[in-house]
Amino acid sequence: MRQRITERIWLWLTSQPKFLASLGTSHIHKPLSEICKYFNRMINMKINRSSRHQKIIGNFGEHLICNMLSRTGFEVTIVDHTGIDLIAYNPKTKQRLGITVKSRTRNIGKEDEAVYILSYRKGKNDRQKLFNACAAFSCEPWIGVYIETSDFADLYLTSLKNYDEKYRGKEGKAVDSWRMTKKDKEEYEKDHNVKHIRIEFHSINWDWEK
């Protein structure tokens, strides 16, 4: 019965132009059973942010990068310093990274939204702050981006030099962004200098509504 209701709702929604525009084309031609699973996930897995969620997700992104670098042999620590959030040192290569981290949560339908990584608005210059901090600690400037949805999360890590050469685009913009369109993600996948980890979330028993 629930499956039939879901199918009817889906058929009605896919006749609505605004819904199709927000959904994109990736799910339209899939088998109906998969579409129903996707639709049920949209209903059941919407992220309801707490009042401190941005602070929490920011801390989580920093600790996750620390964990992954530590597992790779880096000595790494979180720092309270203008311009950078982490300092990581690779004893084998003698490489020292100064990393600024941006973390965001995206609900279903918003996964392709870009993440602002460096701002120049209202007199700010996050890029110069990153350069100054890295100069103070003799680090290479790097950027880390953590983006999570209800089902998965992506962690990206690359040098500012690599970002500038391949992904920044035109200078003079109000912000530098880490784009997350399908085309951009395909480019990241092909770039050995963009470190990437995908994390899948599988809820076994996490229903708080009952």
Q: Which helix (H) or strand (E) segment is 176 a member of? A: strand 175-178
Amino acid at 76: V
What's the pLDDT score for residue 1?
46
Q: In the chain, count of helices (H) and strands (E)?
A: 7, 8
pLDDT in tens, the chain (210 residues): 444 545 565 566 556 555 555 555 555 555 655 655 555 555 556 788 899 999 999 999 999 999 999 999 999 999 999 999 999 999 999 999 999 999 999 988 888 999 999 999 988 999 999 999 999 999 999 999 999 998 899 999 999 999 999 999 888 899 999 999 999 999 999 999 999 999 998 888 887 776
What residue ranges do the domains of the chain occupy?
Answer: 2-44, 53-200
Supply the pLDDT for residue 37: 56
Q: What is the pLDDT of residue 5?
A: 47
Q: Which fold would CATH assign to domain 53-200? A: Trna Endonuclease; Chain: A, domain 1 (3.40.1350)
Q: Read off the DSSP letter of residue 94.
A: T
Closest C-alpha to 164, from 142, 138, 187, 195: 142
- Stated pTM of the model: 0.79
Q: Which two tokens stand for residue 172?
A: 């003079």
pLDDT of residue 48: 84
| pLDDT value for 109 | 83
Q: Is 208 helix (H, G, I), strand (E, B) or coil?
A: coil
